[in-house]
Chains A and B, each alone.
Chain A
Amino acid sequence: MKEGFRQSMTWLHTWGGLLTGWVLFFVFLTGTAGYVDAELDRWMRPEKPLMAPQVAQADALDRGLAWLEAEMPTAARWFVIPPGNREQADLRAFAEAYPKKEGARGQRVSAYLNPETGVPVVYRETGGGRLLYRMHYQLHYMPKLAGEWIVGFCTMVMFAAIVTGVIIHARIFKDFFTFRPGNGQRAWLDAHNLLGVLALPFHLMITYSGLLFLCYVYMAPVIATDYGWERKEIRTFVEGMFNSGPHEIPERAGRAVPLVPLAPLVAEAERRWGEGGVRQMEVRHPGDANARVIFYLGERIPDRARQRMVFDGTTGAVLDDGRQDRPVPQAVAQTFLSLHEGLFAGPVLRWLYFLAGLAGTAMIASGLVLWTRKRQARLRGARGFALVERLNLATICGLPVGIAAYLWANRLLPLDMTGRAAAEADALFLAWAVLALHAGLRPAARAWAEQCWVAAAAFGLIPLLNALTTERHLGASLPAGQWELAAIDLGCLAFGAGFALVAWRLPRRRPVSLPARAVGEAAE
């Protein structure tokens, strides 16, 4: 018999979703953590001051320049990020030397500085939230390119699963608000549908723009036909895709001319952008006759067109003071990238991004569980079924516990240990491996409850661990009104409570007798 359109869509949705679901769960969960990467960075460096010192931006920028001047007086570029960004009460300075030969990367130095004194500050070595963020598109323990291809393939399947999911959801409007709680298959289907439909705009946007991000990897030949295969030519494309066309920066003149004082330049920028408007400063060819000082305004709307001002570094004259006109395709692509990253998001919008990310993660998890619920009466005992059941548990409980272990390692590993950041990541995967092993060895129903309790403890005890090991615990962050810091502790508490609730509600044994479907129908 010829299968109908909807059946074949269902087939694609079911099997595509199942085979990529475990990787997608990882991608979505670590990506969601990426929305609070700066907050995690700060939490994972508890040596940072509790309160940002009040320093005038021009002074902070000057102190950054002073350090760079001493560290690398002749450089291709200097970069200073003043305090006041999401994660930072400190000042970041970064310099890159002229490359030794064409196409190579110049030597780099960077440091965190105290914005009041300009003296470098040393923090514990950590991967921070950035590492989780990077994992969501490059995975870990493998070459960058391999990770990008695996994630790209799964993302493509995700995109197909979203579209087919909408097609096969026959009652998308009728069931818009429908959730029938319980432990049967129907509750899982309702949950899967709700999480998919209510956050559908986010799912579509995040998946499509995710593919767009690495299109230069996945569709290299298409780009090469226009740009060529040379590394330098591909760079031209990538630069154009990710940055607005660079203002023409001249080559180095080779004649030494001192850099103009910064204060008037900062004053000019603040006149246009408001006080504290300068988010980043770049100096090209410092100390050269062709020096350029560039100020960047932070991203405030989802367009990725970073507004900036370019000054002549020897006279202080304004050379370029606005936004570039972008070709339409570039503007469209950059808007998608910007929507994906959400860098423009303030606290409320950041929460919405985070919640939508969690909804996506939960949608994937519920889809994986649903696959087993649908088949448990028919396939119980089959080897493939057992494998899926174990992998589901190992992923859905194991990875969150791994992330909690990453935070535990951040607090517990010796501070002077070499390779500390790598060891933190190892802790994540070690904890995950242990839970995966546990999932493989224990009876399924009991293993779920046990792992949920482990996850509840792993997250729920983090505020306590934090209070025992640092001065940046809730007792300090809450009275000081440092919500970005407190939110990590409170978020861990909430995750712990959530896992405890699930563990509490889980049946101790797998429901015997009636297949889930019959129970569901009887209840209707």
Chain B
Amino acid sequence: MWFFILILALALALFFAFSQKREGLSARISLGNEVVREVDLSEDKVIRLDGLPNVLLEVKDGAIAFIASDCPDKTCVNTGFLSRAGAFAACLPNGVSVAVVGDNPEMDAITR
């Protein structure tokens, strides 16, 4: 009886361990501190934001990047494609930021 329950317990434990959802990556686009879009990175597309006709983002091969912006310094475009959870890019003059979110057990943040 004891033994049976212990086996059951182990089975249950293993079930819980492996049934954790493995979600794909997505990107959260914010204006100021308000999230305006959440996009799935598994689908290629070009994103334009309401009210910011001169800022363009692109999702490609599971990564996202600013590909155009009317800001003077182009720091956002120069950041390039983001493909890991924890990575982010921002266009400060336009107040837009992009953060990649998803399960990433190895990295909580990436800093420059």
Q: Do A and B actually bind?
A: no
